[in-house]
Amino acid sequence: MVNQDLEKLFRRQQYRMAGRHSAVKICEWTKKSLRGEGVCYKQKFYGIESHRCLQMTPSVAWCPNRCVYCWRAVEKTMKSPESGGNVNEPSEVIDRCIEQQRLLLTGFKGLDRADKRKWEEAQEPNQAAISLSGEPTAYNRISELIEEFHKRGFTTFLVTNGQYPERLEGITEPTNLYISLDAPDSETYKKVDSPLLKDYWERFNRSLELMDSFSCTKVLRLTLVKGLNDNNLEGYAELIKKASPDFIEAKSYMWVGFSRKRLKKENMLYHKDVRAFAEKLSKLTGYKYKNEQKSSRVVLLAK
């Protein structure tokens, strides 16, 4: 389902295909952890071990949004599969992702500064970050995929833009559900996320309403782009109230990948700016400061 040109592009970016529509890539924080250079803020916030994380996607080229801040080549993606049922089995997706991850990690085995114990543990990942590229819920067997991960002893982080609320209804709950809250209102959402679906705002709000019914850990992640969506905190507060997450992550956009063709370096917020935004949001929502990681320019608020 991914054409040759797009697959070549993915390979140049160190992705590896895992079937017809899934892919895996070694996260920079996984590499840093193996080299003893630090860990992802998710380990600091939620106890996830970076070196055992499987960063994958079941829908590498499908997404109904083309966010301006995205580091991926969103201009080349489709909003949904062209063939509705011709997809790989969830077990096959996982098997192939683990296989490709191991191949990508091979070079670390002989690296002098790599932690050998961590490298051995990394051969058996136990955490799936279902968020690498594309929109995971565009894969029509996403619920079965999460269930299969759990059968294998994995914890799961499902990150969604909320454009397919019908896939969240009755889904096997992940360990952590993330919804990307990129805008405080419909007009800003259209500018920042460039949605391809006409009823994007209704779909997004329906996903926020559904979030409140989940019993797993729930997180709203705000990716802040200076001058585009770092305003109207009252609007954000209303949407947060609707979703009632356990945590809020306020994080700066990072000037990397293909986003450099759409935005400027100045569109990144300094960590102090993220902290100031989070403090104002805290006053409006009642969520309290919990943690932060300066290197990732992210602040965590908790209910």
CATH of the domain at 66: 3.20.20.70
pLDDT average, residue stretch 63-76: 88
Structure tokens at 292: 């932060």
Query: Which of the two residues, 185 and 73, has the higher pLDDT score?
Result: 185
Q: Give yes or no for residue 224 having a pLDDT over 80.
A: yes
What is the reported pLDDT for 105?
94
Q: Give yes or no for residue 168 having a pLDDT over 80.
A: yes
What is the reported pLDDT for 133?
87
Read off the pTM. Answer: 0.92
Residue 296's domain comprises: 4-302
- Return phi, psi of residue 244, to 5°: 50, 55
pLDDT average, residue stretch 35-64: 92
Q: How crowded is residue 121: how many other Cβ atoms within 10 Å of its Cβ?
A: 15
What is the reported pLDDT for 81?
66
What is the reported pLDDT for 76?
76
Question: What confidence tier does 4 reach under pLDDT thresholds 50, 70, 90?
Answer: confident
Question: What confidence tier does 91 reach under pLDDT thresholds 50, 70, 90?
Answer: very high
Q: What percent of the chain has pLDDT over 70?
A: 97
What is the reported pLDDT for 5?
76
Instruction: Say how many domains are in the chain.
Output: 1
Q: Which of 1-10, 126-135, 170-179, 257-266 has the lowest mean pLDDT?
A: 1-10
